[in-house]
Structure 1
């Protein structure tokens, strides 16, 4: 069982980190809403399996944001002035530990499936799937252990569960590294076929994969380092609140990368008034040079003449 004697109670040191974590979580949730909106309009013909993954992640993020908002109102609203509440656990065991571990595992399992399809080999895909499941199990275990403990102090909980927490984040980081390396290797082998458009598309996908994989890996490693180095200050709460949102946003960024913006900018004379309207066309598989579907986002311009011109026409 956890005990508060492990780490001195320092609730004031955790209050500011809580606020930063809440703000970042809300901001990333807003970005995720935009990503899901774009996906909904741009890719209505995606497979049902892919849609279930996207909307399932979105549902988990809605639940997490609602629980975090409830905790924020409880600590800084109804119990404002009670400094001991700042370090209380509340719903963090589920909103941060369980949901973040589940969201990360869902994204990693999806990429394990994609690796098996692209490489036509189940060995690496199985390794990625095992790492994803093991990391998810460690994350859920740390959350359950924090819940069943008799301690309601984040500093003591961070110290007492740092083993499970470190195992979860280290496995998650290793899984992200394996996923990034595998996808980059597979896509790199398909380059050099003489088609410039195909090579450019593959190069862009590689860069997006490296960027998103590097981001999740760095966040996991930094969170683990802060947990081990500064458990009494609960610095890790800043990144703990947004790990799941980072996985979800990165996943939607990769999916929405198939979308193209056509005629995004054009010259309009001073005698014209411009009103932009976005029109999402349906996916066209003939435009795709790879296995991914590219959808065009066309910006149409509606232009009206000035009032003087309209009067002259009437005369």
Structure 2
């Protein structure tokens, strides 16, 4: 079959990153399955709350993987060779931004909880928690805004510059907020872990 050609557009630049994203997502989901199995085997005496948290997170990740599988199938299954499918956000994409933000927030909230147990400086977990809540809020609002304004690139580009700009800014705020939260958690855990146990007790 001859490659699909769209005047002025390099199709592989659109489809290639998406295909790689699907592949990496499946790879990471496989790692998650192994991690959940190892956790169940190695920490059977953990509290019910922690176990419930792990399984809820795993179930939501499974739902996320099912949704991107539907999106991949609709694009590269019945939509194979149809150029129009490249310009449409499938319905399965609609909950992904919000679900992505919620999953990130859940993982970050666990580390925030751990930080609160390792340090007596309460403002640190509170500050990181505020960033986490902000990025979850931006992710959910971004998903709602995109689904309301239209699920095709044509509809999004046809919107007024103010609306298009606000959607792009929401996406940036979600991604930047998530990155800032992750970096803050990592930095805090490294700093706290570097403090000797006897000194930590006196803080």
Query: What range is the shorter-chain TM-score in?
Result: 0.7 to 0.9
Alignment of 1:184 onto 2:193: no
Contiguous gaps of at least 5 residues in structure 1: 1-8, 194-315
1:92 aligns with 2:98: no
Instruction: Give the structure with higher Rg (CA).
Output: 1
Query: Equivalences for 1:25-104 in 2 at 5 Å?
Result: 25-90=25-90, 91-95=92-96, 97-104=97-104
TM-score, length of structure 1 as denominator length = 0.54
Runs of 4+ in 1 over 3 A off after TM superposition: 154-157
Q: Deviations over 1:88-129 (max 9, x none)?
A: 21122312x111111111111111111111113321111111
Instruction: Pick one of 161, 169, 176 that aligns with 1:163.
Output: 169
Post-superposition CA distance 1:190-215 (Å, at most 9, x none):
2689xxxxxxxxxxxxxxxxxxxxxx
Higher strand share: 1
Q: Which has the higher contact order (CA 8 A, sep 6+)?
A: 1
Q: Distance in 2 between matches of 1:180 and 1:51?
A: 23
Question: What's the CA shift string for 1:138-182, capped at 9, x where partnerless?
Answer: 11111111111124129957x652200111111111112221222
The aligned counterpart of 1:141 is 141
CA shift, 1:42, in A, is 1.2
Contact persistence 2:150–2:156 (CA under 8 A): no
Q: Is the 8 A contact 2:132 2:181 kept in 1?
A: yes
* Aligned-partner Cα distance in 1 for 2:179–2:155: 24
Residue 76 of structure 1: how far off its partner (Å): 0.8
Q: 1:58-77: CA deviations, max 9, x gaps? A: 11110011011111111111
Aligned residues: 184
Q: What secondary structure sits across from 1:121 in the alignment? A: coil
Quick check: 2:149–2:155 contact (8 Å CA) kept in 1? no
